[in-house]
Structure 1
Amino acid sequence: MTSTILPHQSDQLFLTDAGLETWLVFEKGFDMPCFAAYPLAQLEEGRAAFKEYFAPIFELARQNGTGFLLDTYTWRANPDWGQELGHDLDHLRHVNCQAVQDAKELRRTLGHGLNVLVNGIIGPRGDGYDPKSIMTIEEAQAYHGFQVGVLAHAGVDMISALTLTNVPEAVGVANAVAELGVPCVISFTVETDGRLPTGEMLQDAITQVDTAATTKPAYYMVNCAHPDHFRTMIPEGSDWAQRIGGVRANASRMSHAELDCCETLDDGDPVELGAQYAQLRQLLPGMRVVGGCCGTDHRHLAQICAALTR
């Protein structure tokens, strides 16, 4: 089942996935250079793992009466990371197209009776934790235009940019997506102090993107941080917080630097994380999309659903 109604236009809760990459590495034992999932789609065992991962999330959505925002496995499938992995633009064009088709096939085979949106995923040009160099808005629009163009023409319902670290890149992405007439979502990474890696407060980053973008993003998200890292940055009843339509939090309270050095998975406490999502919803009345990030899996999603639908 498909719908043109986006999460921020609906009262329905939408479930999305959790820490796909950390699950593939730590639970399934895949070797993933550059933390890129898309090369696994070329392997039979990789494609089987994708289905194994997503099938229980479809079922969670069904059991809890939520919609499902189905992400493509294309977070690293952009030109710079592709070059790092030895893949040219022709290969990346094929990869992004195939990811959309794979998502549509999962929707067809597993999504019966569910409101499922195919969400084309792009990631930052550089590291999602450390913005070593920052593009201008125009550079970011030109750079990300390749991938968003492929995803849009392949027929996604929307495009989301995850783990963005800075405002100019976010504006560039929003402008590139706007040119194609596809809804855009911007999701920022924040540090343990609730600020972007470049130092901006979340409130200021959202306001700056809304002001500078040719078309405002449909909504914003926060990802790859524990709720304790950003909850105090959201005053109750603040107007700007209504622009936050989703959260994909870590279960770990570790900093990004600590997570980068970790050889074992810190998966936190799923029950505690679920309760913290319920608290976040009191501060974020527009929060319709919930999922997880690094170190989270189906257990965490189940507890989040239980806490929010209780």
Structure 2
Amino acid sequence: MGFLEELQKRIIIADGAMGTLLYSHGIDRCFEELNLSKPEDIIHIHEAYLDAGAEVIQTNTYGANYMKLARYGLEDDVKEINRAAVKLAKQAASGRAYVLGTIGGLRTFKKSAITLEEVKRTFREQLYVLLHEEVDGILLETYYDLEELQTVLAIARKETTLPIIAHVTLHGVGVLQDGTPLSDALSQLEQLGADVVGLNCHLGPYHMIRSLEAVPLPSTAFLSAYPNASLPDYRDGRLVYETNAEYFKETALSFREQGVRLIGGCCGTTPKHIAAMAQALIDRTPIQTKQVKQQQANISIPSAEPKSEPPLEDIVKKRRSVLVELDPPKKLGIGKFLEGAKALKETNIDALTLADNSLATPRISNVALGTLIKQQLGIRPLIHITCRDRNLIGLQSHLMGLHTLGITDVLAVTGDPSKIGEFPGATSVYDLSSFDLIQLIRQFNEGISYSGQPLGQKTNFSIAAAFNPNVRYLDKAVQRLEKKIQCGAHYFISQPLYSEQKIEEVYEATKHLEAPIYIGIMPLTSARNADFLHHEVPGITLSDDIRSRMAACAHDPIQSSREGIAIAKSLIDAAFDLFRGIYLITPFLRYEMTVELVRYIQEKERSISERKVLHHG
């Protein structure tokens, strides 16, 4: 009788964690490589699970793919490691258990780090080895990203008629990280040809059972569950799982009541946990009918309060729009900053943008200053958010805080690496890329957190994204813009440009985009400032002509400022008829320079309007 035929009639007990046992014995390196260097240890663990009552064991190949093995310099050993893993599992099983070839997911929360094409190439290489070694089935486990799992499942189903088990992994109860309800996800996997669908990892029995309560019995497939032992504790630099085996004995019966027919364990589980479940399920008779609970994911999420002002992306589509950046101070005391903000307020700019520790240098919190200028001066703040300083938890908390403060305009940027700032030893987090951050904010606008859980209400962020046109290949930079639009960007703010020709090139390269662009212009203050920007600041390039003009007045600070403003005005002239949005960056809190440029833009606009009136008159 085959594996699926047995599942038709009874509940089958699977094994538990491999890495947990290896880790508990002090092994803290590539677990899959041990198939070659310590085969006896792998066989011993397989045998321990078999002696505990496991009727299904999985190969030690969870991370035995090109991308994960490359972290250890083992990317050329994919075939050898997978081949050895199957042989060891079969040797241990000796015909008394089914051997599943395990392939783990690649994507976690940083979805953009791995393309689907990379997923496909990596998956196929590992799959073909496992199939060649004649495993009894394929176990696809720990897939946080449904798109990835659907992709690899389709490949596997096309290549083999062997049983395929497809496991998603949840951050929270009952919903995937993209907001898909678990029941819908498992149904989709069943339709793609999975023979067994279910859950593994991250959740312990309690939350996994709660998640399954909203899942009906599949029509043609079977349900499975491989829970973690518990939430891990971090002690003396090591992760420790403390749930006792008796708890697994109690919850095994609850899993059966949810329709689970294949039950094993994931992180933190040991042969004792598997033995406890096997003992609890002496009667392996599965249930045939089930009462399904209402899915919480279907509850409607209320929208946020409507904005009092139209989004900036709508404003700039209809008329000339000016944004001004005024950097938060590096030192305590905000007198000059507020002076500048007040002066710019009087020019009727559309928003004041506040960088997030630009050039990796600590500054007064842009959220604190944004709140002050909004409440005290009535200025619209546009808050920059970098991926550098906050992990995924901190970024979500940050966004919830901004929403609570009523700040809805944000610019999502990667952020300069810490090594270029005043504290080069500080950690650059980069849990997310700018693409991922844009997607996260868009998901917040849908009322869903990154874990897929409802936020309680929808946010209404207007999402700006950064654009660096100062690159060798402008077409590739534009491709990044297109990708950011797909991720959810509403409009773009560019790095400063210092060439009329470049402004025209940017227009020609981007005129097909629906998302508007604010062209960045920053007045130079001196020849040294020009040289520093050109040679040392990433993403900024100055023409030889501009550097020569600044060098000509290097010893006259007043003339240097005048020349910097003159250059900026000529750049504004070049951009004026091509882009409705102008983004002025204030150098060194010298707001009087920016005020003059804002008034120059307004005067040009007024002059054009007057000529139109005269023409029509």
What's the TM-score bracket when you normalise by the shorter of the two chains? 0.7 to 0.9
Give the partner amino acid of 2:3. Answer: I
Give the partner amino acid of 1:144. Answer: F
Query: 1:240: how far off?
Result: 4.1
Instruction: Give 2:64's aligned residue.
Output: 77
Query: 1:86: how far off?
Result: 0.5
Matches within 5 A, 1:232-247: 232-235=210-213, 238-240=216-218, 243-247=221-225
Query: 1:106: how far off?
Result: 1.4
Residues 98, 243 of structure 1: CA spacing in aligned structure 2 closer, same or farther, 3 A cutoff?
same
Instruction: Give 1:180's aligned residue.
Output: 159
Question: Does the CA contact (< 8 Å) of 1:246 and 1:289 recur in 2?
Answer: yes
Indicate which of 214, 222, 243 corresponds to 2:199.
222
Query: 1:97: how far off?
Result: 1.2
Question: Does the CA contact (< 8 Å) of 2:103 and 2:138 recur in 1?
Answer: yes
Q: Report whether the alignment pairs 1:55 with 2:47.
A: yes
Matches within 5 A, 1:105-124: 105-108=91-94, 111=95, 114=96, 116-124=97-105
Instruction: Give 2:133's aligned residue.
Output: 154
Question: Does the CA contact (< 8 Å) of 1:277 and 1:308 recur in 2?
Answer: yes
Instruction: Give 2:189's aligned residue.
Output: 209
What's the TM-score, normalizing by structure 2? 0.42
Question: Does the CA contact (< 8 Å) of 2:208 and 2:227 recur in 1?
Answer: no
Identity of aligned residues (%): 23
Query: 1:137: how far off?
Result: 6.0
Instruction: Give 1:64's aligned residue.
Output: none
Instruction: Give 2:74's aligned residue.
Output: 87
Residues 299, 262 of structure 1: CA spacing in aligned structure 2 closer, same or farther, 3 A cutoff?
farther
Mapped to 2, the partners of 1:76 and 1:219 lie a distance apart of: 21
Mapped to 2, the partners of 1:183 and 1:243 lie a distance apart of: 10
Mapped to 2, the partners of 1:301 and 1:273 lie a distance apart of: 8
Q: Report whether the alignment pairs 1:125 with 2:106.
A: yes
Matches within 5 A, 1:1-310: 4-6=2-4, 9-26=7-24, 28-32=25-29, 36-43=30-37, 46-61=38-53, 68-89=55-76, 91-108=77-94, 111=95, 114=96, 116-127=97-108, 130-133=109-112, 140-181=119-160, 182-211=162-191, 213=192, 216-224=193-201, 225-235=203-213, 238-240=216-218, 243-253=221-231, 263-284=238-259, 287-309=260-282
**Secondary structure of 2:112's aligned partner:** coil
Query: 1:183: how far off?
Result: 2.4
Task: Select the structure of larger CA radius of gyration.
Answer: 2
Query: 1:272: how far off?
Result: 1.5
Give the partner amino acid of 2:280. Answer: A
Mapped to 2, the partners of 1:196 and 1:244 lie a distance apart of: 19
Mapped to 2, the partners of 1:73 and 1:246 lie a distance apart of: 19
* RMSD value, Cα: 2.7
Question: Does the CA contact (< 8 Å) of 1:137 and 1:171 recur in 2?
Answer: no
Mapped to 2, the partners of 1:4 and 1:260 lie a distance apart of: 44
Question: Does the CA contact (< 8 Å) of 1:134 and 1:166 recur in 2?
Answer: no
Mapped to 2, the partners of 1:220 and 1:7 lie a distance apart of: 16
Please give the per-residue CA displacement for 1:56-100, whole angstroms capped at 9, x wherever unaligned: 322232xxxxx61121100011111011111234x1111111111
Mapped to 1, the partners of 2:224 and 2:266 lie a distance apart of: 12
Query: 1:242: how far off?
Result: 7.8
Instruction: Give 2:311's aligned residue.
Output: none
Please give the per-residue CA displacement for 1:95-123, whole angstroms capped at 9, x wherever unaligned: 11111112221122xx5xx3x21100001
Question: Does the CA contact (< 8 Å) of 2:35 and 2:88 recur in 1?
Answer: no
Give the partner amino acid of 1:196. Answer: L
Question: Does the CA contact (< 8 Å) of 1:11 and 1:288 recur in 2?
Answer: no
Query: 1:239: how far off?
Result: 3.8
Higher relative contact order, chain-length normalized (CA < 8 Å, sep 6+): 1
Give the partner amino acid of 2:178. Answer: T
Judge which range, 234-243 or 269-278, deviates more: 234-243
Q: Which runs of 5+ in 2 are unaligned?
A: 284-617
Mapped to 1, the partners of 2:212 and 2:81 lie a distance apart of: 38
Judge which range, 16-25 or 3-12, deviates more: 3-12
Question: Does the CA contact (< 8 Å) of 1:17 and 1:292 recur in 2?
Answer: yes
Query: 1:236: how far off?
Result: 6.9
What's the TM-score, normalizing by structure 1? 0.81
Mapped to 2, the partners of 1:209 and 1:236 lie a distance apart of: 16
Mapped to 2, the partners of 1:241 and 1:56 lie a distance apart of: 35
